[in-house]
Structure 1
Amino acid sequence: MADRRLQVFSAVAKHGSFTRAAEHLFMTQPAVTFQIKQLEEHFNTRLLERGHGKVSLTPAGEVVLAYADRILDLSEELESRVSELTDELGGTLSIGTSTTIAAYWLPKLLERFKHKYPRVIPRVVVGNSQLTEDRVAARELDLGLIEIVSEQPAIERFTAARDELLVICRPGHPLASKSRLTAHDLLDHAFITRDPGNAIRELAEQFFAAAGIGIDEVNVCAELGSLATVKYLVGEGIGFAIASFAAIQRDIREERLVSVPLEPKQYTPLEVIIPKDKFRSSLITTFAEHAVAELSVMAAALPERE
């Protein structure tokens, strides 16, 4: 219901870029530029300074942004309040999720939610856990599903479940025959790690640090953002990696990979996060409660490890 020009202006101001705002809003860059031009013509003044690839606010732009954010928040609250009177949840829900949760937990979670609330339109943005946490804290997303314990004061978190972390390697790899693996057991082998900001990368580094091993002492042979690529390279014998139990079920069943527990055992948390100071609609609350319950059920349904 809010003026689309204000939504676009707020996104450009917060992202500092027409391109990033367009990506966030699922618009083309020319469409974003047109909306900003219309808003500046409406106020008959320049609201943004463009230059050197960055965008900054003019004094008038700072005033407009302050009011735009208040108007957008009130508009969202109005939509939610009226929707709640119909006793049927509906509308768009912006969800951020880590790559592992998106691939192995989210599909069934969304399927069950859509069966209950068919008028809800989930809009999912996939990134690593740190990026998702930052976007929820900045109120760019309604809710996040991540694999790190958030300590940000702007975040309210709910722990849904946890998933064991395991070493994965190809059959025949020297590590494949072990029953348990300590950090020192891994030092002589090539390690395929994840991209910065990825929760499993952080947990792996903590695992080594707890054993007195700095990450610079580990034989890192690749840093990858895609778990599918990690598993492929592991299967080709390039190195070992650390992955969550849920993410490797099919690979283990089909004997493409071997998994070995860490010693001491390590776990990744499955966390549902929402902005602490954001108006909380019934839709956000309902999905958060659904996500916590479903993740707990799915985690409990994973096959027992020997």
Structure 2
Amino acid sequence: MADRRLQVFHAVAKHGSFTRAAEHLFMTQPAVTFQIKQLEEHFNTRLLDRGHGRVGLTPAGEIVFAYAERILGLSDELEARVSELTDELSGYLNIGTSTTIAAYWLPHLLEGFKRRYPRVIPRVVVGNSQLTEDRVAARDLDVGLIEIVTDQPGVERRSAARDELLVICHPGHPLARAKKLTAQELVGHAFITRDPGNAIHVLAEQFFQAAGIGIEEMSVCAELGSLASVKHLAAEGLGFAIASSAAIQRDIREGRLAAIPLDPPLYTPLEVILPRDKFRSRLITTFADYATAEFAHMATALLKAL
């Protein structure tokens, strides 16, 4: 309902880039440029400074940006309040999720939610847990599903469940014969790790540090952003990795990977996060409640299956 020109201007100012604003709004860059030109003509003044690879606000632009935030916020609240007069939830839901949750938890989660609320349209953005946390704190997303415990002041967190992390390797790897593995027993073996910002990367570093072992002492042979690539290299015998139990059940059943618990056990949290102090529609609250309960249910079912 809000003026489209204000929406586009707000996105450009917030992202500091016409290109990133266009991606965020699912628009072409020429269309974004046209909307900004229309708004500047309306106010008869320049609102944006272009240069040095980033877009900045003029003094007039700063005033318009402040009011745009308030107007757009009230517009969203108005739309949500009116839609809540009907019994059926509907509308877009912007969800951010870590890669592991996206692959192994989210499909079941969305299936159940869509069956209950078929008029809801989820928009899912996948990234590592740190990136998702940052986007929720910046209010770019309605809700986030991550695997780290956040302490960001701009984020409200709900601890839903936890998933055990296991060492994975080829069934013929020397580590596969162990019942449990300490940090010291992993030193010297080729280590396939995740990308920085990934929850498992962070937790693995903490696991080794707790045993007095710096990550530089590990024989890192690859640092990968894709869990599928991590599992493939481990299954081919190129080293060991640390992975979520939920992510490896099929590989274990089919004999591609062996999984060994860590000693002491290591768990990744499953967290539902929301922007703090932001108006929260019934749709967002309902999904957050559902995700929290469903995570707990699925984690319990997974534990029984092990």
Scaled by the length of structure 1, what TM-score is found?
A: 0.97
CA distance in 2, matches of 1:139, 1:291: 19
CA distance in 1, matches of 2:64, 2:84: 30
Residue identity matched to 1:89: L
In structure 2, the partner of 1:247 is 247
CA distance in 1, matches of 2:252, 2:206: 26
In structure 1, the partner of 2:278 is 278
CA distance in 2, matches of 1:229, 1:68: 43
CA distance in 2, matches of 1:276, 1:249: 35
In structure 1, the partner of 2:63 is 63
1:187 matched to 2:210: no
Structure 1: gaps of 5 or more residues: none
Q: Deviations over 1:126-146 (max 9, x none)?
A: 010001001101111000000
In structure 1, the partner of 2:105 is 105
In the TM superposition, what is the alpha-carbon distance from 1:206 to its structure 2 partner? 0.2
In structure 1, the partner of 2:168 is 168
CA distance in 1, matches of 2:301, 2:265: 20
In the TM superposition, what is the alpha-carbon distance from 1:26 to its structure 2 partner? 2.0
Residue identity matched to 1:144: G
Residue identity matched to 2:146: I
In structure 2, the partner of 1:287 is 287
Residue identity matched to 2:182: T
In the TM superposition, what is the alpha-carbon distance from 1:45 to its structure 2 partner? 1.4
CA distance in 2, matches of 1:173, 1:195: 23
CA distance in 2, matches of 1:229, 1:5: 43
In structure 1, the partner of 2:224 is 224
CA distance in 1, matches of 2:44, 2:110: 45
Identity %: 78
In structure 1, the partner of 2:298 is 298
Residue identity matched to 1:8: V
Cα 1:238/1:28, change in 2 over 3 Å: farther
Q: 1:301 is paired with a residue of what secondary structure?
A: helix
1:138 matched to 2:138: yes
CA distance in 2, matches of 1:239, 1:2: 54
CA distance in 1, matches of 2:259, 2:305: 10
In structure 1, the partner of 2:94 is 94
In the TM superposition, what are the counterparts of 1:14-53 in structure 2 within 5 Å? 14-53=14-53
Residue identity matched to 1:77: E
CA distance in 2, matches of 1:36, 1:91: 27
CA RMSD of aligned residues (A): 1.1
Q: 2:163 is paired with a residue of what secondary structure?
A: strand
Residue identity matched to 2:271: E
Q: 1:171 is paired with a residue of what secondary structure?
A: coil
CA distance in 2, matches of 1:229, 1:9: 39
CA distance in 2, matches of 1:142, 1:251: 33
Residue identity matched to 2:63: V
Scaled by the length of structure 2, what TM-score is found?
A: 0.97
Q: 1:108 is paired with a residue of what secondary structure?
A: helix
In the TM superposition, what is the alpha-carbon distance from 1:304 to its structure 2 partner? 3.7
CA distance in 2, matches of 1:8, 1:238: 48
Residue identity matched to 1:301: A
In structure 1, the partner of 2:215 is 215
Q: 1:89 is paired with a residue of what secondary structure?
A: coil
In structure 2, the partner of 1:266 is 266
1:78 matched to 2:62: no
The number of residues matched between the two structures is 306
1:153 matched to 2:153: yes
Q: Deviations over 1:50-97 (max 9, x none)?
A: 112111111111111100010110001001100111121111110000
